[in-house]
Structure 1
Amino acid sequence: MSKKLLAITGGFVPFNDTVTLLSYKHLRLIDADIDVVALKGPTDEGLKNVIEADLNARKFHIEYVCNYDEAVATFEKKNVIQGIFNIFKYKKECVRKSLKQDYGIVYSSSIPSFTHWAAYQVKKKNPNIKWIASFSDPLYKSPYKFDKETLNEYSLITKIGFYVYIGIYMNAWYEKIAMKYADKIIYICEEQRDFMISHYKNKDSLMNKSLIVPLNYIKDWDIYSKLMNQDLNIINEKKVFSHFGRVYGLRKIDLFLLALKELKEEEENFAEKIIFRQYGEFNSRYMKMIDNYGISDLFEFSNKISYDQVIDMMKQSDVVVLFDTILSRDELQPYLPSKSLEYILLRKEIFILTIENSPSNRIFRNLGYKPTLYELDNIKKAIKELIGNDKIEYSYDTSMYENSIATKKLKEYIESKLV
């Protein structure tokens, strides 16, 4: 059989998106040549530098079909027709490439989800090829698709755009064909796997072909060694709480903002004790709440920053913040924020706003942290403790999150199919 692997990833490093680095980490240690069919996104200079220094990067041969935003339509550009055309162009190139080479494995990534459709078409044309489908989030019955509170905030045109986007890029059918036809399914945590499998009748067979590969780090990369060797003696005039990533949809922070409002009213000079820094997209409704609550002086906002800048800002913070997906108490919560890994490596104080049935709650509690459940009194108590506490040095083993260990079973499976 072939010693070549076809990776259908959509975006790919050095483009910095949620799953581009995840795909690279899944495959970098495989003993095989890897052809990548990708969409070209903006280059993250921090990622570019570490990847160029990684000898394993040499096995990746990347072919770009078009720019990322020419296939993945945006609300600003409203280029849906162009997007659909380029999705078909992307699929066609994947199939064409698969017929020219003797590939033993085809790998698809979960964002953008039409990569699974492209891999399915490759599998149909090449029945002997083994298909590995990677999911970072569920598509079928995803709670984010049914968040009525967020939908009610949208204008009519925004709602139409939302449903068009879901129909094209997050369609449950992409998950269903992967669950049925893929030979191996990768998940990032137990809760995600259990949530997704629960919606299908053939639970036993799906469990048998499931594989959990946790979010992981590459020990030789400077960006991770910087995190793991951070200075705990940083002194800020105010306690700096920093959140990295989007605040939208079910990442609900209504009670967090109310807690800040009440604490500011209850405690003298509260604004001199804390500053909250947000890096990335922030829900406009929460911006209005901040203004209405009179807590604008507690916040600073920045656009999305490069990966190496993120690492620097994490190190300079007193507390890093994780806003989890908030569902009702009896629901299994399948989402694990991608920044969880970096926070684990930091070993510093984390404000974790979560629920009981969440992977974040399980993982961080097992490491010795005290996640904050989504209730007003809990939030106020946690903020006060984090402001008043001296810095704590956490000590726990992170070896299970090291790339070579985290991907060992995946590497063994792939290489067994390439001999």
Structure 2
Amino acid sequence: MKRIFVAAWSYPPKMSGESVVCRRTLENSKLYYDVCSCMQKVEDADADKVRVFPVHGRYIRWPFNVVKQFIKLDKTEHYNIIMTRVMPPNGHFAGILIKLLRPHVKWVVYFSDPIWNSPFISFFSLFRKNLQQQPNYLLMKVFGSAAWLGTRFGDLLVFNNDRLARYVLGEKYNSFKDKIVITPYGHEGVQLQKCLQKQPSDKVVIAHVGQIYGARSFSRVVEALEILKQNYPEQYNRLVILQVGFICSSEKSAIINSKVINSFCFVDEVDYEKSLEYMRTVDFALILDPYFSEKNKNIYVPVKIYDYMSVGAEIIAVADDDSATADIAKELGCALAGHNAEEIANMLLNCVSGNIGRHIDSGGRFHCRKGVEILDSCLEQLLDND
């Protein structure tokens, strides 16, 4: 039985998309894994199939500690494949070091973010204030260099959607096509029978569960609420926008100083299970895409959209029509508005009036097993060709 060595900063899941996707992928795989995680608390659903080894340290130290753990385990396991995952991006740095030590080992490089050319960061962010939770430009470039090398020297490049692959690889997309694998995220099954019942109320609660910072902003939603407050005060008074999770200080200040602060409710970061509970008990679950002026940067698929599906939430989305999120929203059939205050206001009116129907993944089209089966097949080929 061959095991695959994985460098994954956040395993088991915490309140982050990368952490949730990593656990979901490995636990639904039919293969066997040894995972280096920085998490203090380790909980394994299957301690035989997925063994977790806490490896502590941060940024510079963690990759070197991962390599030490690899050398220790490799004495008995004789790994043929390593997989490095991103966020924070130093996991790929560990991959470079291991590849230098063991050139024969196959390297699977998993991307959920471009890292070195992320749309979320720019050189000018070094000089802006109040950018709490923004990716650090210099660190992203330093560790991103390892990810860039991963595209060149990795044996398998894994992406969650084709838009992301094209953005990351640029002009190299076609020449690297033989080692590109697209594995959509997915959920673990719609469990409507487990949904909690919302208490009767004339309020319509719309929740965004996730982080708000940088290009992901409530600014257009605030403008939409101001339109409703002026033109449709009765409907406006029924709306509650619930933000669950981190929100940067500048964004929160803008909402507090707006004319529609009474429509907002803030809940600090919660654990993953608690976040699912919030999703189950609200009227609508909101996908809020980041806004980028350049359309080719709309490459992100938020993991929360699959969590929303799994709990049977009624999903609404604010995203550009030409985006990775819109691709899924259209296939699912949920309400979609662009980054335009008038469009968002109309969507919110439909929420209040009940003109938005319930859309769930009844056929299992978005189940994670589809992406996991694709990845498993590719990993088995690497193992067989060793």
Give the TM-score normalised by the residue count of structure 1. 0.82
State the SS of the aligned residue for 2:247. coil
SS of residue matched to 2:98: helix
* Secondary structure of the structure 1 residue equivalent to 2:184: coil
1:67-93 Cα offsets, whole Å, 9 max, x none, are: xxx41xxxxxxxxxxx43344333333
Distance apart, 1:354 and its partner CA: 0.9
Shift of the 344–306 alpha-carbon distance from structure 1 to 2, 3 Å rule, reads same
What is the deviation of 1:30?
4.4
1:88-127 alignment runs, 5 A limit: 88-98=64-74, 101-127=77-103
Q: Could you give the per-residue CA deviations for residues 350-385 of structure 1, whole angstroms, max 9, x where no partner exists? A: 231111221111111122123101112111111111
How many Å apart are 1:343 and its aligned residue? Answer: 2.3
158, 161, 178: which one pairs with 2:150?
178
Matched, 1:218 2:188: yes
Residue 393 (str. 1) matches residue 369 (str. 2):
no
CA distance in 2, matches of 1:142, 1:400: 29
For residues 90 and 106 of structure 2, the distance between their equivalents in structure 1, rounded to whole angstroms, comes to: 18
1:322 shift after superposition: 0.9
The correspondence for 1:162, drawn from 136, 139, 156, is 136
User: Which of 351, 365, 368 is matched with 2:316 structurally?
Assistant: 351
- Where 1:418 maps in the other structure, the secondary structure is helix
For the residue of structure 1 that corresponds to 2:121, the secondary structure is helix
Q: Report the Cα distance in structure 1 between the residues aligned to 2:134 and 2:355, rounded to whole angstroms.
A: 49
Instruction: Tell me which stretches of 4 or more aligned residues in structure 1 moved more than 4 Å.
Output: 29-32, 150-153, 158-161, 231-234, 395-398
Identity of aligned residues (%): 18
| Residue 133 (structure 1) aligned to one of 85, 100, 109 | 109
| Cα 1:284–1:42 shift into 2, 3 Å | farther
CA deviations on 1:107-138 (whole Å, 9 max, x unpaired) are 11012221112122222222222111111111
- Structure 1 residue 229, shift from structure 2 partner: 5.5
Residue number among 233, 252, 260 corresponding to 1:287 in the alignment:
252
Residues 205 and 331 (structure 1), Cα distance of their counterparts in 2 relative to 1, 3 Å cut: closer
How far apart in 2 are the matches of 1:241 and 1:147? 35
Q: Deviations over 1:129-161 (max 9, x none)?
A: 21111111111321111286x7665169x7999
Q: Distance in 1 between matches of 2:256 and 2:123?
A: 24
Deviation at 1:234, TM superposition (A): 5.8
CA shift in 2, pair 1:268/1:217, >3 Å:
closer
Residue from 342, 347, 352 that aligns with 1:377:
342
Which AA in structure 1 matches 2:164? Q
TM-score normalized by the length of structure 2: 0.89
Higher helix share: 1
Aligned pair 1:191/2:163, yes or no? Answer: yes
Q: Secondary structure at the match of 1:205?
A: coil
Matched, 1:263 2:263: no
Instruction: Kindly provide the amino acid, as one letter, of the partner of residue 115 in structure 1.
Output: G
5+ long unaligned stretches in structure 1:
72-82
Q: Which amino acid aligns with 1:140?
A: W
1:15 and 1:42 in contact (8 A); partners too: no
Q: In the alignment, which residue of structure 2 is the partner of 1:7?
A: 6
- Report the AA paired with residue 182 of structure 1: G
